Structure 1
């Protein structure tokens, strides 16, 4: 199975980046200029995105995590700083829980995975006219859902996953980074995950779902400080 990735830097600690849904390995490119001189960076295409293959046996986030775990082991990438954004954060969380010996520290950016009550209209959806369903989809469903295309069946499974038991079992020092105006994964989710992961800290920045696009130097500084602080 082909897993495509970009590698930058030749020394220092290994940092592995896992992108969000509908993104690819280049998503984290804004961070590279601030980190590559000090760290060895791996920007990975998750299965089915960018130039990586997707096989029929990948059915949920746990399967994505298995693929990345096997990739890390095959390349003998150890003592990893694992960074995941959005969906990539779900995958990173599962790896940190199941393979803690591989991961030194975990950084989650705008990470989904906590449970939510159904939308107020959901119990009545069979009574809603078709044209109104389209309106509700546009205004109450995420952009990732609307643009999932051929991956929609897989996406529907993934968005229903409740990873709260996974978060509660993560023992690795964890940094949570959130944009206070995130419309995709609200800050309330970050607060809940912060409570679930015992060794975690939450930093809230101005901006939305992609804080490392909006202020890459700030996010890179937070990453560097977190890695260097052995008391984290």
Structure 2
């Protein structure tokens, strides 16, 4: 893993750690990992992108190095934290790459700060604005299942999450590096997610890439395909031999996909728009 320079951003009196690396003269990608993992989920993307982009990588509240933080920051604070990080580093705009939970944070940031967004890449996620009712209902049922695991064994809970998040041994190994830091008290940091969801009918103003793993749940596929149909600014890619965290399961194909997409969007923002 490439050594990343750790920095601190302040939101009021609260502090948040993040990592920034790569080429300062290039465009910026903010990388947001899946629930229960941490920034090491992008271990196979960072070396591939570091020469051509400036990378901001972080551990969401309650995850990774943030798991032991006493600042009481929650997921609800993330859009403002990302905005503060960009301002502190004098970055005018960015691409957002979010996996699962990270994709919801990416969209929430894009809604609050649209002028700072060049594109949004959603991996194994769904919209916070539309085509999400079935997914959200299932997520609530999934949460009840988690409670049963959590009450009796965090070890069994983590094993369950590993199995449903990644389809390959390589992916599970990457995910396991982060989930080992997640604790029972970390769930408190997930609060405030409900505030992200705002129903909209109009198209999003930014180019959007939707990436699905071939073996991700049918419900996620259905939601992404419906979102693609509703969003004229979107492209949809399905990666073979990968699951929910496609970037960890199929890193080479994933890296090729986002390099190609970002190159086209950077040359011509309208390249992400279907006609």
User: How do 1:91-102 residues align onto structure 2 when only pairs under 5 Å count?
Assistant: 91-102=105-116
For 1:226 and 1:193, locate their aligned partners in 2 and report how far apart those are by CA, in whole Å: 18
Q: Who is 1:197 aligned against?
A: 231
Contact 1:18 / 1:44 at 8 angstroms: preserved in 2? Answer: yes
Instruction: Say which SS state the counterpart of residue 133 (structure 2) adopts.
Output: coil
The 1:208/1:89 distance shift into structure 2, 3 A limit, reads: same
The 1:6/1:27 distance shift into structure 2, 3 A limit, reads: farther
**Runs of 5+ in structure 2 lacking a partner?**
1-14, 163-181
Contact 2:32 / 2:102 at 8 angstroms: preserved in 1? Answer: yes
For 1:156 and 1:143, locate their aligned partners in 2 and report how far apart those are by CA, in whole Å: 19
Q: Who is 2:44 aligned against?
A: 30
Report the Cα offset of residue 63 of structure 1. Answer: 2.5
| Aligned pairs, number | 214
Matched, 1:212 2:247: yes
Report the TM-score, using the length of structure 2 for normalisation.
0.66
For 1:188 and 1:3, locate their aligned partners in 2 and report how far apart those are by CA, in whole Å: 36
For 2:109 and 2:94, locate their aligned partners in 1 and report how far apart those are by CA, in whole Å: 11
Matched, 1:170 2:198: no
Report the Cα offset of residue 157 of structure 1. Answer: 5.9
- Provide, for residues 67-105 of structure 1, a one-character-per-residue CA deviation record: whole Å limited to 9, x for no partner: 222222222222211111111100000111221111111
The 1:218/1:30 distance shift into structure 2, 3 A limit, reads: same
For 1:173 and 1:194, locate their aligned partners in 2 and report how far apart those are by CA, in whole Å: 11
Q: Who is 1:56 aligned against?
A: 72
Contact 2:34 / 2:245 at 8 angstroms: preserved in 1? Answer: no
Q: Who is 2:103 aligned against?
A: 89
Instruction: Say which SS state the counterpart of residue 186 (structure 1) adopts.
Output: helix
User: How do 1:215-230 residues align onto structure 2 when only pairs under 5 Å count?
Assistant: 215-229=250-264, 230=268
Instruction: Say which SS state the counterpart of residue 3 (structure 1) adopts.
Output: strand
Matched, 1:7 2:42: no
**Runs of 5+ in structure 1 lacking a partner?**
none
Report the Cα offset of residue 179 of structure 1. Answer: 0.7
**What is the aligned counterpart of 1:70 among 69, 73, 84?**
84
Report the TM-score, using the length of structure 1 for normalisation.
0.77
For 1:149 and 1:42, locate their aligned partners in 2 and report how far apart those are by CA, in whole Å: 27
CA RMSD of aligned residues (A): 3.4
Contact 1:205 / 1:211 at 8 angstroms: preserved in 2? Answer: yes
Q: Who is 2:57 aligned against?
A: 43
Contact 2:62 / 2:190 at 8 angstroms: preserved in 1? Answer: no
For 1:55 and 1:170, locate their aligned partners in 2 and report how far apart those are by CA, in whole Å: 33
